[in-house]
Amino acid sequence: MPGKLQSKFGLCVGLIAGMWLGMAHGQDEPKKPAKPALKIKSEASTKVEETADPFAIPDGTPEEILEFMEELQENRPNVKTREELIAYFTKAQSVLIEAASRILKNPKADAEVASEAAEATIQAHLNLMRLGQEGAGKKVKEVVEELEKDSREEVAKLAREQKTVVEIFTAVELETAEQKALGERLLKGLTESKFSRKSLQYAFTYADVLEGLEDTQLAGTYYTELSAALKTSKRPELIEQAQKLEGIARRLQLPGNVMEIQGNTLEGKPFDWASYRGKVVLVDFWATWCGPCIQELPNVLAHYREYHEKGFDVVGISLDNEREALEGFIAKREIPWTQLFETNKEKQGWSHPLAVFYGVMGIPTAILVDQEGKVVSMNARGPELAEQLEKLLGPPAKKPAKDE
């Protein structure tokens, strides 16, 4: 995908723990431009000193305060849990807002420094919104409106430019009709600008925001419309992106609908999806080289043992490139369910026809299908798998073991 919006004070758009400690969702992804995130240096050069207060704003010049803000953004906290990390990150955003306020209120701050401070405070407010701080979405809109009135043209211009960014990221708080209207406006701007870099950034960033909503149907519709718009560009690279977006749209519109699967099994036989009707099936896109997939495997095996006789099954869709490695792994781990695998080298890995068809951009992608063949969960991993199975098949004979 085209690169997303980035700045010196990069916007953290989610999975904060995953960015620093790998504690979040854990998903192996194909190479693509990363979402905006905090800049991180090596641990040795950025680890917060035990005796220093990383949140102490210096009583110095605007330039010195700005340097402090940049260092705070780059600090890697010495924490051990996701909760501690989020607490640290939340505190850091509040400190950044206060530091930026001091710069903006200082009449001696030159326009460039003030502009960077303005950008930092907007990003920090957006980060707090993503962390679930009540009222943060409303507050960041107020901040932008106030900055637009700043007497320094550089600051006012920055605020005007960031206004669309703020609209995009605060769209999660809008009603569905308003979200649709914003999407239509962004797509209109995309074509009217003749697919400028900025309009592409806006359009793709909004797609990410919508994809994070609980109801993925709106995101699926938007991806379809974005794909159609890109096809009119006559630019080969955008037309190629459009084809990928069609798959993503198809996947996001799966909830409540029937999932179609076809292909060849690891044994080289045609896969019979119809034979699974009447069962609850976990469709698992995975690979032996995927760390999070391997971490989830004991959970799937435990639930398979407890629920298989009650009508639960698994279909693995392997994105591996080496048949021998896959067969060896399956034998060693005693994985009993069917695996779909492509022998054609050009259709292996991320090019697996089903991965392309459903726009799979990261694994594991665990989709749960009910007895009627309809998708009931797009993230059937961990506790979610247990909850869904109990809902559809009743309680297991005994609680699944946590580990192998």
What are 157's two structure tokens? Answer: 């211009």
Are 75 and 179 part of one and the same domain?
no
Q: Under a CB-based contact definition with an 8 Å cutoff, are residues 93 and 127 in contact?
A: yes
Are 364 and 300 part of one and the same domain?
yes
Per-residue burial over 258-280, b = 16 or more CB atoms within 10 Å of its CB, e = otherwise: ebebebbebeeeebebeebeebb
Residue 362: its pLDDT value, please? Answer: 92
Are 190 and 206 part of one and the same domain?
yes
> Does the residue 194 lie in any domain?
yes
Residue 212: its pLDDT value, please? Answer: 85
Residue position matching structure tokens 């084809």: 243
Question: Of 139, 157, 173, which one is at a domain's C-terminal end?
Answer: 173
Are 188 and 163 part of one and the same domain?
no
pTM of the model: 0.70
Are 3 and 139 part of one and the same domain?
yes
What are 142's two structure tokens? Answer: 């107020």
Alpha carbon distance 309, 336 (integer Å): 13
Alpha carbon distance 158, 139 (integer Å): 17
Q: What kind and span of H or E run contains 398?
A: none
Q: Under a CB-based contact definition with an 8 Å cutoff, are residues 8 and 119 in contact?
A: yes
Upstream peptide bond of 255 is cis (omega within 30 degrees of 0): no
Alpha carbon distance 335, 349 (integer Å): 20
> Does the residue 328 lie in any domain?
yes
Q: Under a CB-based contact definition with an 8 Å cutoff, are residues 128 and 11 in contact?
A: no
Are 186 and 312 part of one and the same domain?
no
Are 279 and 244 part of one and the same domain?
no
How far is C-alpha 67 from the geometric centre of its chain's CA atoms? Answer: 30
Residue 130: its pLDDT value, please? Answer: 87
CA distances from residue 153 to 114, 147, 157, 329 in whole angstroms, order as listed: 10, 10, 6, 62
Per-residue burial over 192-227, b = 16 or more CB atoms within 10 Å of its CB, e = otherwise: eeebeeebbbbbbbbbbbbbeeeebbbbbbbbbbbb
Are 157 and 72 part of one and the same domain?
yes
Residue 225's domain spans which residues?
174-253
List, in sequence order, the alpha helices (H) in 193-235. Answer: 197-211, 217-231
Residues 6+ apart with CB under 8 A from 187: 203, 225, 226, 229
Residue 23: its pLDDT value, please? Answer: 37
Residue 29: its pLDDT value, please? Answer: 54
> Does the residue 114 lie in any domain?
yes
> Does the residue 141 lie in any domain?
yes
Are 208 and 317 part of one and the same domain?
no
> Does the residue 340 lie in any domain?
yes
Q: Which residues partner with 339 through β-bridges?
A: 316
Alpha carbon distance 14, 207 (integer Å): 14
> Does the residue 401 lie in any domain?
no
Q: Under a CB-based contact definition with an 8 Å cutoff, are residues 4 and 168 in contact?
A: no
Residue 150: its pLDDT value, please? Answer: 94
Are 155 and 179 part of one and the same domain?
no
- Angle, helices 82-105 vs 62-74, to 10°: value is 170
CA distances from residue 215 to 24, 209, 221, 247, 368 in whole angstroms, order as listed: 21, 12, 11, 17, 16
Are 12 and 116 part of one and the same domain?
yes
Task: Return the number of other C-beta atoms located less than 10 Å from residue 236's C-beta.
Answer: 8
> Does the residue 263 lie in any domain?
no
Per-residue pLDDT of the chain in tens (404 residues, 90 and over written 9):
333 333 444 443 333 333 333 333 445 555 433 333 333 333 434 444 455 788 999 999 999 999 999 999 988 888 889 899 999 999 999 999 999 999 999 999 999 999 999 999 999 999 999 898 999 999 999 999 999 999 999 999 999 999 999 999 999 999 999 999 999 999 999 999 999 999 999 999 999 999 888 888 999 999 999 999 999 998 999 998 998 999 999 999 999 999 999 999 999 999 999 999 999 999 999 999 999 999 999 999 999 999 999 999 999 999 999 999 999 999 999 999 999 999 999 999 999 999 999 999 899 999 999 999 999 999 999 999 999 999 999 998 665 555 54
Question: Of 173, 189, 224, which one is at a domain's C-terminal end?
Answer: 173
Question: Of 173, 193, 225, which one is at a domain's C-terminal end?
Answer: 173
CA distances from residue 22 to 27, 130, 214, 387 in whole angstroms, order as listed: 10, 18, 23, 25
- How many distinct structural domains can be found in the chain? 3
Q: Under a CB-based contact definition with an 8 Å cutoff, are residues 314 and 300 in contact?
A: yes
How far is C-alpha 254 from the geometric centre of its chain's CA atoms? Answer: 18
